[in-house]
Chains A and B, each alone.
Chain A
């Protein structure tokens, strides 16, 4: 058979399709897909909101607690405006860092969306678009990005200890050690834990996919 004959054989399928389609089920699948996509978008939005709210709340709570101790443990001592300035500055710095992180996250997502839209509709463009998506996830585990996420925590803790230093807390102060312990556990469980989960996800899911896409791209270029 030459190519024309092969094409004629191939096109004979158009006269008698290989399958029938249950259109009711198909429409149901489309509705489910739409619902799932909406849920996913909502979930992602709430994760970002939750992170920001959580960071701001933590900052406010820790520094308000410190303010409370400062006022009620030092009875008889008249506190000046400068004594309050430290905790307030800590709260403001922590909140600013949290908002900065959220803003950075938002800008990164926008930049990623713009980057994805730059690609056209060909197979090569689709592969490049998916590769761009793959690049986006490991980027979040890079040191600069990790620092951005941890910045609010670092600023809060640094502000907390700076204030403690100003008020002559000593290492024998049990409450100070309790809080130090809390920060260490918080850091290990939440911050390091989240990094570990993300790194593991990238290694197990993203990198193999990235390699496969690169192989596909190579196959496209292969003469």
Chain B
């Protein structure tokens, strides 16, 4: 595929579903600089994946899949300087900072998600965005029953935290 065609498709995907990338970035990176870096990495991988997209799943499912795979690999890379792979220079302003006033309930959700294990975080994001067990299983490679077990655990963790905070 020619680069201009890939750019066009990527532009359409980004315009329609950039929220997916932000959600994944916020769930896996916690400082603004890290978020810039992860967003860049995720965007590059989504752009590269345009060629491989065959339309067998929806675009949001595909973008989630690529973004989560990238984010999981990203958090596991300890020191990017050591690997000689640093973010591109001059990309500090790639993302505008989030607005000062954000919905505290969204903040609370991100805080709880951040405390989950890496894989559970992926499942939680997909669950909250309304993906079915089957879709989550397809994206993660888990069995549907395992997805069910993980979702039950995530639900009980979230409910428990909510209850604790309500009491306190």
Quick check: is A9 within 8 A (CB to CB) of the other chain? yes
Chain B residues contacting A51 (CB-CB under 8 Å) are none
Chain A residues contacting B155 (CB-CB under 8 Å) are 3
Within 8 A of A (CB), among B1-37: 3, 7, 10-11, 14, 18-19, 22-23, 26
With beta carbons under 8 angstroms apart, the residue of B94, B102, B128 that contacts A26 is: B94
Give Cα A223–Cα B76 distance, bound, in whole angstroms.
21
Q: Is the CB of B141 within 8 A of A11?
A: no
Within 8 A of A (CB), among B56-88: 65, 68-69, 72-73, 76-78, 82-83, 88
- For the side of the interface on B, what is the size category? 35 or more
Q: Give A160-173 as 1s and 0s: 1 = Cβ < 8 Å from B's Cβ atoms.
A: 00000000000000
Q: Is the CB of A219 within 8 A of B119?
A: yes
Q: Give A180-223 as 1s and 0s: 1 = Cβ < 8 Å from B's Cβ atoms.
A: 00000000000000000000000001001100110010011111
Best-surrounded residue of A33, A121, A125 (most CB of chain B within 10 A) = A121
Residue count of chain A within 8 Å CB distance of chain B: 47
Using known A-B contacts A1-B162, A19-B97, determine if residue A12 contacts B139 with beta carbons closer than 8 Å.
no
Quick check: is A22 within 8 A (CB to CB) of the other chain? yes
With beta carbons under 8 angstroms apart, the residue of B76, B91, B128 that contacts A209 is: B76
Chain A residues contacting B138 (CB-CB under 8 Å) are 122
Q: Is the CB of B98 within 8 A of A30?
A: no
A126: nearest residue on chain B (CB-CB)? B69
Q: Is the CB of B117 within 8 A of A9?
A: no
A118: min CB distance to chain B, Å: 14
A223: min CB distance to chain B, Å: 5
Q: Is the CB of B19 within 8 A of A29?
A: no
Q: Is the CB of B158 within 8 A of A25?
A: no
Q: Is the CB of B96 within 8 A of A219?
A: no
With beta carbons under 8 angstroms apart, the residue of B19, B43, B68, B128 that contacts A6 is: B128
Q: Is the CB of A29 within 8 A of B141?
A: no
Q: Is the CB of A13 within 8 A of B119?
A: no
Give Cα A125–Cα B90 distance, bound, in whole angstroms.
34
Chain A residues contacting B7 (CB-CB under 8 Å) are 27, 30
Quick check: is A44 within 8 A (CB to CB) of the other chain? no
Q: Is the CB of B83 within 8 A of A205?
A: yes
With beta carbons under 8 angstroms apart, the residue of B22, B93, B118 that contacts A18 is: B22
Using known A-B contacts A6-B158, A10-B106, A29-B40, determine if residue A223 contacts B149 with beta carbons closer than 8 Å.
yes
Give Cα A14–Cα B20 distance, bound, in whole angstroms.
8
Quick check: is A130 within 8 A (CB to CB) of the other chain? yes
Q: Is the CB of B26 within 8 A of A220?
A: no
Q: Give A130-144 as 1s and 0s: 1 = Cβ < 8 Å from B's Cβ atoms.
A: 100000000000000
Q: Is the CB of A219 within 8 A of B118?
A: yes
Give Cα A3–Cα B102 distance, bound, in whole angstroms.
20
Nearest 9 pairs between A and B by C-beta?
A124-B141, A122-B141, A10-B128, A20-B96, A126-B69, A123-B140, A19-B95, A9-B105, A18-B22
Q: List 18 A-B contacts (CB under 8 A).
A: A6-B158, A11-B130, A17-B19, A17-B22, A18-B19, A18-B102, A19-B22, A21-B95, A22-B95, A25-B90, A26-B94, A30-B7, A33-B47, A123-B142, A127-B72, A205-B82, A216-B72, A220-B119
